[in-house]
Amino acid sequence: MKESKKLNMENLKKNLIDNIVWVLLLIGVIVFIILRPAYFNPFTNFNLYLNIPMQASVMGVMTIGLAGTILLGDIDLSCVGIMAVSAATGILLYKQNHVPVVIAMLIIILMGGFIGFINGVLIAKLKTVALIETLAMNTTLAGVVLAITRGRTITINERAYTVVGQGKIADTIQYLVIIFILIYVLMYFVWNRTPLGRSLFAVGGNPECARVSGINVDRIRIAAFTISGVMAGLAGLMLSSKMGSINSVFGSSYSMDIIAAAVIGGTSLSGGIGKVSGVLGGVLLLNFVQVGLQVFGMDSYYVQAATGLIILLAVLIDSFRIRLANKE
């Protein structure tokens, strides 16, 4: 009887940790409704809850790409640099070289994938440390963006371009939200229904065992970083079309947010553990908290401090999750 009760408690604890992000999101919604019912009541201000996915869309697309590299036990710190360089290149090709706008948009995504591929090759084949290599890549790309923009804001007013970030279906649902949802449906399928997804978990859990079982570890690592680059490029297209411009600090506010969202969503920094639904929950939680604090009139540095605390909480939860898994 005691053993059964202990087992039930362990299962309850594990389920709670696995879904902690959704528990925290629910608690956050309840707390904000109690503190500011007129604004956060979903029955009287449902538009707020429709607006959260739109605000989360760019960060969400980048986060799910990053999460794939964390799943391997690596990390991609070049996402923001990739999104900025890709968007800047595409916009300049359209404005200065008169490349058709659709081709320019495609180039943005493909360039993101190409830079991600380079990251993957350097990490997988040359055995560079992912943390250092991608940090160096991000720094390099930040310099390239500064050189391209020369500190100026480069605008693009072409409707065919800006419609991606500003257009709506039936004047209700933004295209950004549709892209956001489709990407998560696609990545859910990739992570859970394809050999690539199964290999990501296997390599992240134990690279040597994965290698012995016949998985090409280097190829999987390159694929993960390439996908991360594609998602960063797509995020660059989404954000630049939403803003109608790009500048030297384009997307820099996302650098820590995407890591926090992925980790608090249950993607373990040690690799091999993660869920697409958890990453989605992490993205929504972070955006909801940030919007909530802004509604209460908090200055930007308080919002940044709150984001830092969420990152710390995410790391602590991840540490607890690992200890719990080791006990089993």
Cα separation of 229 and 81, whole Å? 10
Mean pLDDT of the chain: 89
| Contact predicate 151/248, CB 8 Å | yes
- Please name which of 181, 201, 179 lies closest in space to residue 191, comparing C-alpha atoms: 201
Which conformational region is residue 268 in: left (phi greater than 0), alpha (psi within -120 to 50 degrees), or beta? Answer: beta
| Highest mean predicted confidence (pLDDT) among 3-7, 43-47, 184-188, 266-270 | 184-188
Rounded to whole angstroms, the Cα distance separating 217 from 196 reads 11
**CB distance 258 to 66 below 8 Å:** yes
Mean pLDDT of 196-201: 95
pLDDT, position 308: 81
State the amino acid at position 322 in one-letter form: I
Q: Taking the complete model, does pTM exceed 0.95, yes or no?
A: no
Residue-wise pLDDT for 280-300, tens only, equals 999 999 999 888 888 787 777
b/e map 169-187, b = 16+ CB within 10 Å: eeeeebbbbebbeebbeeb
Cα 39 to chain center, whole Å? 28
- Residue 6: its pLDDT value, please? 60
pLDDT digits (tens, 9 = 90+) for 85-124: 999 999 999 988 889 999 999 999 999 999 999 999 999 9
Mean pLDDT for the stretch of residues 59-88: 96
Higher pLDDT, 154 or 14: 154
Interacting residues of 24 by C-beta distance below 8 A, sequence separation 6+: 264, 285
pLDDT at 241 over 80: yes
The residue-averaged pLDDT of 307-314 equals 79
For the chain, percent of residues with pLDDT exceeding 70: 93
Over the range 202-235, which residues count as b (16 or more CB within 10 Å of their CB) and which as e? bbbbebeebeeeebebbebbbbbbbbbbbbbbbb
**What are the C-alpha distances in Å from 187 to residues 68, 105, 214, 251, 309?**
9, 21, 24, 22, 28
Q: Evaluate whether 93 touches 84 at the Cβ level (below 8 Å).
A: no
> What DSSP designation does 174 have?
E
> What pLDDT band is residue 4 in, cutting at 50, 70 and 90?
low
Q: Taking Cα atoms as reference points, which of 215, 24, 228, 248 lies closest to residue 123?
A: 228
- CB burial class (10 A; 0-12, 13-18, 19+) of residue 144? middle
- Give the SS3 label for residue 245: strand
Res 220 pLDDT > 90 = yes
